[in-house]
Structure 1
Amino acid sequence: MASSVISRHLLLSCHKSLHLSLSGCRYASKVATKTQVNLDYDGPSMKTEIPGPRSQALTKQLGDIQNVGAINFFCNYEESRGNYVVDVDGNRMLDIYTQISSIPIGYNHPALLKLMSNPNNLSTIVNRPALGIMPPENFPDKITESLLSVAPSGLSRVQTMACGSCSNENAYKAMFIWYRNKERGHSSPSDEDLNSCMINQSPGCPDFSILSFMGGFHGRTLGCLATTHSKAIHKLDVPSFDWPIAPFPRLQYPLEEFSRENAQEEARCLEEAEDLIVKWRKKGKPVAGIVIEPIQAEGGDNHASPDFFRSLRKIAQKHGCAFHVDEVQTGGGCTGKFWAHEHWGIEDPADIVSFSKKLLTGGFYYKLEFQADKPYRIFNTWMGDPSKNLLLAEVLSVIRRENLLVEVNRSGKALMNGLYELQAQFPGIVSRARGQGTFCAIDVCDDETRSNILVKARNKGILLGGCGDRSIRFRPSLVFKEYHVHMFLNIFNDVLAQIK
């Protein structure tokens, strides 16, 4: 590990150099004051095991009100900063999970704090409008400044929503509406359509389907849940739709060493996906759309090659299906490009791209033909939150000004090299290191060992998350630097040595 995991002495030197480079407020923006800002702590600092006594007391208190089975600990967000989250017991952890991959530029970034303290923005924060009927005056400008400035190739329109699940749910509706209008040849429903839909019957409620992939995760609302196939606990006891589920490629790693085997596996999955489209059409449940993640995140960080996605895109076009790319977890720069699908090298990559998490607001980009043909068809009370667009515009400004995607690629390379060395050193414990940018993962020998590793790492000041059956996923913010990588690798090495 000596070649990839730097010594503690070098780590401290590196950290000191980094803070020197921040003089003059390297992270300052048009809204931040021009003073030196210490964005990060020096490292983890642990006072208790996690959860500590204060977290345990709060969990008990909340347990009298709601289910608390998933809570890890309670946070002190006022004291959290940069790449570090602080809990209510004063424990400070290097956060490589970032609220399930949703913190773009670290905790309490000075540019965002300054933005929110600007009196001119108070109205946006205090008054949350029903955007579909009474948006604020500056809403078109703010959407253009934020979301449209990073629109995926070929997609000129965007619909804001509140979260990833409702983004996908409404994107599915847009695909169904598009497909039905295409069938009719026009957008005017018949009286029979209008009457039958009120009692959940065809033709007003057509028996369309969406093709999804085993291992995929697209949300927990009812329609999204029909396309989610990552963990049984998400779906148990909830009725669902009879929609086709294709196999997602199970690749062997390192990818370059198994190119022939992986190409065969991808060809098998593509063939089955196309067969399912044909089969469901014959069943009278035509596939209106295909939904897929560029990297299956919750399902275990499962990758496929650019060729796989290019071929799948062609299959969708061949059969007249909409192609929906779910970038809720992969979007926002964590793979080294702003959108993970940019790695595919396709000029026309998708008909719809959904987003949330690192983009702070939810929603989906879409082509003009997927525009709802009547008011209130894609609609809810809030349809997003204008204050999040303010924050996103500043986040994007920081990303561009600080060249954070370059940082992501640099840190990601260091992280992957370290993971490769760890799996070579501990082959019985960890394997199958994989990733793009800092969107990385590694497998553990079994679920029990993974749980043990996550707990030990957390008690040493490293916050990680699991995914799939036995994977650990790495989801740092975009301000995660190389020296943070080495700090993590040192501690993770110690944890694995204890397991061994």
Structure 2
Amino acid sequence: MIANKCHPRIAARFLTRRIIDGRDATWKRCLTGSLAEEPKGPVVKTEIPGPRSRHLFQELNSLQQASSVQFFADYEKSAGNYIVDVDGNSLLDVYMQISSMPLGYNHPAMLHALANPVNQKIIANRPALGVFPGKDWPGKLKNVLLRNDVAPPSLSHITTMMCGSCSNENAFKNIFIWYADQQRHGAPFTKEEIESCMINQSPGSPKYSIMSFKGAFHGRTLGSLSTTHSKYIHKLDVPAFDWPIASFPQYKYPLEENVRENQEEDKRCLAEIEELFEKSRKEKKVPVAGVIIEPIQAEGGDNHASPEFFQQLQRIIKKNGAALLIDEVQTGGGPTGKMWCHEHFNLPSPPDVVTFSKKMQMGGYYHVPDLKPKQSYRVFNTWMGDPSKLILLEAIVDIIAKEHLLDRVTKVGNYTLQELRNLEKEFSTSINSIRGRGTFIAFNGSTQERRDDIIKKLLAKGIQAGGCGVNAIRMRPALTFTEKHADIFLDALRSILKQ
């Protein structure tokens, strides 16, 4: 006899039931029927972290380095735009797992996808995609990652990976392989190249470089870390490549009052990029094969650059025969009001590579056809992505389209930015430099200490926010964030600034 109500332990046991005629309605009902409703507002019962979080921290810290942990969450009780911790505090989450939760917590569409028996078998039988992909894999790539409202315009090739760091790391390999093939004019590998690469010597291991930018964050694997320049703790004690590092524009705000100064900043940075190309080629004898850049420098402080800057950057890169890699790991998936932030820049041609992860659930990169390696196993690992994450992404992009969430992001983002500018006028000695696209929003505290204090007091009021750069507070809400949620955040911020 089957229970009518689904206790979590009973629901777990239902998973093991034999599926009859390809369906198990009981399991589906248990999975979707016990969802928590989104709270009407934050509820703070204890200090944060509370006693249960502190106890769990001691347990975890005895097993691994855990000092980055802020609190322990109860993901069964979390819902929508609210994360619930193990002490029963319900927090409005405008940070969303570092920008990686597009629909918030426990969205019914995602849970429903996981209840599908076909999808359960995909999850249970995770393939080595590079050698044994499932029969539906080409179709899934076409119908999810390469559908017209998902893929970056005019990019028709895709390589799936696990995370943002390994996406950038392997994209570097694609760029180097393509660049080397250009240098040998498509000729086959020589005996000298084959033998020398095995002992990390040229010509088989050529000296090429990837140009990056001050303030950038592209990951923590060795190649990606060499292009990361946001915080010393990421890089200290780890060997790095001596690759060129250019200045990213540092704008003055409000933008409309500093047009001339910011245009001059664009020119200064672009001239420096031209100079670095020349110096790398002629003086260092290590030509730049590619340039990696974020459309908005996220970890580095939510630093923006103009569409004109990106257009001129692409022109310089093409002139020097290199590839443009736009890192959309944090900006991809809709938070700027477009699926891809670089769509705001009106580039004359698509970037050569666009990397993604976070809101896209899996890692990977789109690229132009020329960057597809000619030989197998050149870019390869055991899993090459994860079909289970594509199941979730399919549900996500269907909801984005069905509920017009990108339009909502634009509308709510404009509302939030305007209200923050009003607060800046009232409390200019505490916050400044309001900036953002869509709900990908940040503002500065007047000092680092003021920034840290605001974030701490927001948490005490039931708002989970994040910091970045030296003194920036960043918002990374779900695409389901509304004006109602924005008002809760803004009211809490106003009360803190009044103090």
TM-score normalised by structure 2 residue count? 0.92
Partners of 2:133 and 2:187 lie apart in 1 by: 27
Partners of 2:187 and 2:114 lie apart in 1 by: 43
- 2:409 maps to 408
- 1:292 maps to 293
User: 2:311–2:348: 8 Å Cα contact kept in structure 1?
Assistant: no
Matched letter for residue 97 of structure 1: Y
Shift of 1:152: 1.0
- 1:72 maps to 70
Matched letter for residue 249 of structure 1: P
Matched letter for residue 191 of structure 2: D
SS of equivalent to 2:303: coil
User: 1:341–1:349: 8 Å Cα contact kept in structure 2?
Assistant: no
SS of equivalent to 1:325: strand
- 1:119 maps to 117
Q: Higher mean Cα deviation, 89-98 or 192-201?
A: 192-201
User: 1:213–1:227: 8 Å Cα contact kept in structure 2?
Assistant: yes
SS of equivalent to 1:146: helix
CA deviation map 1:211-254 (0-9, x unaligned): 11101111110000110011111111111011000000001111
Partners of 1:89 and 1:188 lie apart in 2 by: 63
User: 2:209–2:289: 8 Å Cα contact kept in structure 1?
Assistant: yes
Matched letter for residue 172 of structure 1: F
Counterparts in 2 of 1:134-145, with a 5 A limit? 134-145=132-143
Counterparts in 2 of 1:100-499, with a 5 A limit? 100-149=98-147, 150-186=150-186, 188-282=188-282, 283-498=284-499
Matched letter for residue 480 of structure 1: F
Partners of 2:443 and 2:311 lie apart in 1 by: 26
User: 1:154–1:347: 8 Å Cα contact kept in structure 2?
Assistant: no
- 2:9 maps to none
Partners of 1:468 and 1:303 lie apart in 2 by: 13
Q: Which consecutive segments of 4 or more residues in structure 1 shift more than 3 A?
A: 31-39
Matched letter for residue 224 of structure 1: S
Partners of 1:34 and 1:178 lie apart in 2 by: 47
TM-score normalised by structure 1 residue count? 0.92
- 1:26 maps to none
CA deviation map 1:479-500 (0-9, x unaligned): 00011001110011112222xx
Partners of 2:120 and 2:406 lie apart in 1 by: 31
Counterparts in 2 of 1:80-95, with a 5 A limit? 80-95=78-93
**Sequence identity, in percent?**
53
Q: Higher mean Cα deviation, 424-433 or 269-278?
A: 424-433
- 2:17 maps to none
Partners of 1:383 and 1:397 lie apart in 2 by: 24
Partners of 1:447 and 1:260 lie apart in 2 by: 28
SS of equivalent to 1:335: coil
Shift of 1:34: 11
Partners of 2:76 and 2:33 lie apart in 1 by: 20
CA RMSD in angstroms, aligned pairs only = 1.6
- 1:57 maps to 55
CA deviation map 1:352-401 (0-9, x unaligned): 00000000010000111101121111111111100111111110000000
Partners of 2:135 and 2:76 lie apart in 1 by: 32
Partners of 2:442 and 2:214 lie apart in 1 by: 19
SS of equivalent to 1:315: helix
User: 1:153–1:347: 8 Å Cα contact kept in structure 2?
Assistant: no
Partners of 1:307 and 1:35 lie apart in 2 by: 50
User: 1:313–1:349: 8 Å Cα contact kept in structure 2?
Assistant: no
CA deviation map 1:442-478 (0-9, x unaligned): 0012222222211111111000000001100100000
SS of equivalent to 2:171: helix
User: 1:153–1:348: 8 Å Cα contact kept in structure 2?
Assistant: no
SS of equivalent to 1:158: strand
SS of equivalent to 2:433: strand
SS of equivalent to 1:431: strand
Partners of 1:417 and 1:114 lie apart in 2 by: 37
